[in-house]
Amino acid sequence: MEFVNKLEPDVNKPLIIAAMQDMGNVGSIVVNFINKGLSTVPFRFVKSNRPPYVFDKGGYIEVPEEHWEYRYGDGIIVFGGGRGQPEQSDELNELCQDVINTAKKYNAKFIYTVGGFHTSRQFGKYPTTYVTTTTKILLEQVRNLGIETTPHESVITGFNGLILGYAKMNGINGMGLYGELLEPSIPQYRAAKSVIETLEKLTYQKLGNLSELDVRADAVDNQLKDNNNDEYS
C-alpha cells in the first residue's frame, strides 16, 4: 500500500473515528456524514496497489483506483469512508496498523469504528445500534448509559472489526458501533443515523444535521416501492 502525507495537522489527543465501506454502506455513510458535518480537512492518503476487482465498461476493462483519506477537525481524526476496503489480508492488516500508528503519533486515547449489524428482527424505521468494546470495564460503562451491547458471540470480519483488535493489542481503548439492517445490498441511512445518534451520546458532541439522513432514507424507500410497483404493473 502507498501512504502519502499532505500536511501535518495541529491536533493532540484526538478522538479517532475509523471505518470503511461495509454492508449497507453504513461505515462509509457515517464517515462521510461526519466529515461534512465537522468540515474536516484531508491530511493523509492511502492507496491500494492491488485492487480486488476491475470494471467491465461494456467491452473494455478499467482498473479502479481505490484510495482513502485521513481527515482532521477540532479534536478529531476521521479515517475511511469512500468505496471498498482491502480484501487481501496483508493489506488489511497493514492498513489497521497504520491507523494505530497515526493514533499513537497524535496521542489518541480512544478509537471508534462503525458499521452494519445484519439482523432478521423487524424494526420498522427505528434500528438499534449495538456496541462492543475492547474491555469489560468499558462494557459496563456503556450498559450504564442505557446503550445496547452486542447480543451474542460472533466473528466480526473486515476493517470495521479488525481495527478494534489492533487497538486492544496496542493498549488503546475502543468501541465498535453497529446499526441494525435487513438488506445489506441497499444503502442503510437509518442504520447510519442510529449509529451517529449513539456516537453523539458517547462523545458528547453534535456531528451534523441528522435530518439529511432521514431524507435519503425516504428516497431509498420510495425508489424500492417504485421498483416493486413496476414489477407488478
Beta-bridged to residue 15, according to DSSP, are 76, 110
Check residue 112 and give its pLDDT.
Answer: 98
Q: What is the pLDDT of residue 228?
A: 62
Answer yes or no: is pLDDT of 65 > 90.
no
User: Does position 223 have pLDDT exceeding 90, yes or no?
Assistant: no
What average pLDDT does the segment 19-29 reach?
94
Going from the C-alpha of 47 to that of each of 1, 43, 67, 94, 125, the distances in angstroms are: 6, 14, 4, 12, 36
Residue written as grid cell 475511511: 80
Q: What is the pLDDT of residue 50?
A: 78
Say whether pLDDT at 24 is over 60.
yes
CB of 20 closer than 8 Å to CB of 110: no
Residue 15 CB partners (closer than 8 Å, separation 6+): 75, 76, 77, 108, 110, 112, 203
Q: For the structural domain made of 2-232, what CATH number should be given? A: 3.40.50.10900
Strand partners of residue 178: 115, 130
Answer yes or no: are the C-beta atoms of 96 and 79 closer than 8 Å.
no
Q: What's the pTM value of the predicted model, to 2 decimals?
A: 0.91
Residue 127 near residue 190, CB atoms below 8 Å? yes
Where do the structural domains in the chain lie, given as residue ranges? 2-232
CA separation for the pair 8, 5 (Å, rounded)? 8
